């Protein structure tokens, strides 16, 4: 398993001291280009950015002169490293309920992009994690490069893969969805294409000149085909997907019928059999991850990912918001952020501390909505379309 970089969460601590706005907007040949412009924070999303993005997306929806939308990140390090976790932690620790509005607005934005009537292109170059995946996976055309680092690393901070992950991870086999969602493994661009989390893997240098090609894009025929021609090089060679070699191991250990304790037990059994070096490295890293993460949220994540495979997108967002509310108010989120980002002692005190101590009724509690259906903040999501 690849290591999950701290940057996915820690980027939000860097203040943007530049005078430039955090969201840039321009139109090129009838295609709107929205740029997340917070490069010092790896374009991590603040609440203000989410609100402005929602306004821009609605403008693009209503403007008949705009035929498509491109989402990109400023700088060369990342598309978007996620949400402003430190700010959420600060508000929650102070008992300020405004943290919930961030998630409600973020999920509404993600849903608006998923249901956008015009083609959306996302340039997932560099780091695309957490909230960045929420935006990127809503696109019709998802572009990655050789330097893309794709992940949903929320379990590392006692959280759950959200922003629609219970739905968008379901495009891959259940075993891979469980592996990616539970461990927070970092995927390469080629891995993302292999697992249907991206549509094209292109050289990063090729993306640098996409606006020149966009200027020449014809508007007759299929718009999505025309956009694909803008972003796909004439002779594109996709790099090798590192995850290919690990496929038998992932299929064996992350069987959907296996609970979290069973997964850990089979990893340990294989380690005792003295496997080849590459297999041993993966087994040890995966076992270490699962035994070091929040036991409660591992159980909850597994169940949410399996349930999401049978749910609509709107239902998934509603389920995730309920889990998020419970995780922040009464779960391991605040302790996870403390250990990883605030004190940085990397020694979270999970409650309970072991997988065996997590009772089934506790898992069911996290998956039970805190709201009556009509009072849910996302009750209207999907009412008119899905």
Query: How do the domains of the chain map onto residue ranges?
Result: 7-231, 243-375
pTM, two decimals, is 0.94
| Sign of torsion over alpha carbons 154, 115, 36, 121 | positive
DSSP string, 130-195: THHHHHHTT-SEEEE-TT-EEE--GGGGT----TTHHHHGGGS-HHHHHHHHHH---B-HHHHHHT
**How many CA atoms lie less than 13 Å away from 167 in the CB half-sphere?**
20
Q: Do residues 157 and 14 touch, judged by C-beta distance below 8 A?
A: no
CATH match of 7-231 with 3.30.300.250: no
Q: What is the pLDDT of residues 110-156, one digit of tens each?
A: 999 999 999 999 999 999 999 999 999 999 999 999 999 999 999 99
Q: What is the pLDDT of residues 150-188, one digit of tens each?
A: 999 999 999 999 999 999 999 999 999 999 999 999 999
C-alpha 202: how far from its chain's center? Answer: 20
What stretches of 196-254 adopt beta strand conformation (E)? 200-201
Fold of 243-375: 2-enoyl-CoA Hydratase; Chain A, domain 1 (3.90.226)
The chain-wide mean pLDDT, for the chain, equals 93
Q: Do residues 294 and 337 touch, judged by C-beta distance below 8 A?
A: no
- Tell me which H or E stretch contains 120: strand 120-123
What span, in angstroms and rounded, lies between the C-alpha atoms of 32 and 211? 11
In terms of Cβ atoms closer than 10 Å to its own Cβ (0-12, 13-18, 19+), residue 343 is exposed
Q: What is the pLDDT of residues 42-62, one digit of tens each?
A: 999 999 999 999 999 999 999
What is the reported pLDDT for 17?
47
What stretches of 162-314 adopt beta strand conformation (E)? 200-201
What is the reported pLDDT for 5?
46
Q: What is the pLDDT of residues 217-254, one digit of tens each?
A: 998 888 999 999 999 999 888 889 999 999 999 999 99
Tokens linked to 280 = 């041993």
What is the reported pLDDT for 15?
46
State phi, psi for 250 to the nearest 5 degrees.
-65, -45
3-class SS at 96?
Answer: coil
What span, in angstroms and rounded, lies between the C-alpha atoms of 186 and 369? 30
- Which residues, in sequence order, are bridge partners of residue 27? 32
State phi, psi for 49 to the nearest 5 degrees.
-65, -40
Using CA atoms, how far residue 299 sits from 127, 218, 260, in Å, is 27, 50, 6
C-alpha 370: how far from its chain's center? Answer: 23
Name which of 167, 182, 185, 184 is nearest 297 in CA terms.
182
What span, in angstroms and rounded, lies between the C-alpha atoms of 306 and 175? 10
Domains 7-231 and 243-375 share a fold: yes
What span, in angstroms and rounded, lies between the C-alpha atoms of 318 and 222? 34
């Amino acid at each position: 398993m690849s290591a999950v970089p701290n940057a996915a969460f820690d980027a939000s601590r860097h203040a943007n001291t530049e005078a430039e706005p955090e969201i840039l907007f321009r139109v090129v040949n009838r295609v709107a280009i929205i740029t997340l412009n917070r490069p010092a924070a790896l374009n991590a999303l603040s609440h203000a950015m989410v609100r402005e993005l929602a306004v821009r997306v609605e403008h693009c929806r209503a403007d008949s002169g705009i035929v498509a939308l491109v989402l990109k990140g400023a700088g060369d390090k990342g598309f978007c490293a996620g949400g402003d976790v430190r700010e959420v932690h600060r508000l929650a620790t102070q008992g300020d309920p405004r943290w919930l509005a961030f998630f409600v607005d973020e999920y509404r934005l993600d849903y608006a992009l998923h249901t956008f009537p015009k083609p959306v292109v996302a340039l997932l170059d560099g780091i695309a994690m957490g909230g960045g995946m929420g935006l990127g996976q809503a696109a019709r055309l998802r572009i990655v490069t050789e330097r893309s680092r794709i992940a949903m690393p929320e379990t590392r901070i006692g959280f759950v893969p959200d922003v629609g992950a219970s739905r968008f991870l379901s495009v891959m086999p259940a075993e891979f969805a469980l592996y990616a969602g539970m461990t927070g493994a970092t995927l390469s661009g080629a891995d993302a294409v292999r697992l249907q989390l991206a549509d094209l893997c292109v050289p990063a240098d090729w993306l640098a000149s996409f606006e020149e090609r966009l200027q020449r894009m014809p508007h007759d025929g299929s718009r999505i085909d025309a956009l694909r021609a803008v972003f796909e090089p004439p002779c594109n060679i996709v790099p090798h997907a590192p995850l290919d070699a690990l496929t038998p191991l992932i299929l064996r250990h992350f069987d959907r019928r296996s609970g979290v304790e069973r997964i850990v037990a089979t990893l340990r059994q294989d380690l005792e059999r003295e496997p080849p070096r590459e297999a041993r490295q993966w087994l040890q890293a995966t076992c270490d991850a699962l035994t070091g993460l929040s036991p409660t949220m591992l159980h909850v994540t597994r169940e949410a990912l399996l349930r999401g495979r049978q749910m609509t997108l709107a239902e998934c967002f509603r389920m995730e918001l309920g889990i998020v509310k419970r995780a922040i108010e009464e779960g391991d989120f605040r302790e996870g952020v403390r250990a990883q980002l605030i004190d940085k002692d990397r020694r979270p005190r999970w409650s309970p501390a072991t997988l065996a101590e997590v009772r089934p009724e506790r898992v069911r509690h996290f998956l039970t909505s805190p709201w009556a259906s009509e009072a849910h903040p996302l009750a209207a999501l999907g009412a008119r379309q899905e």
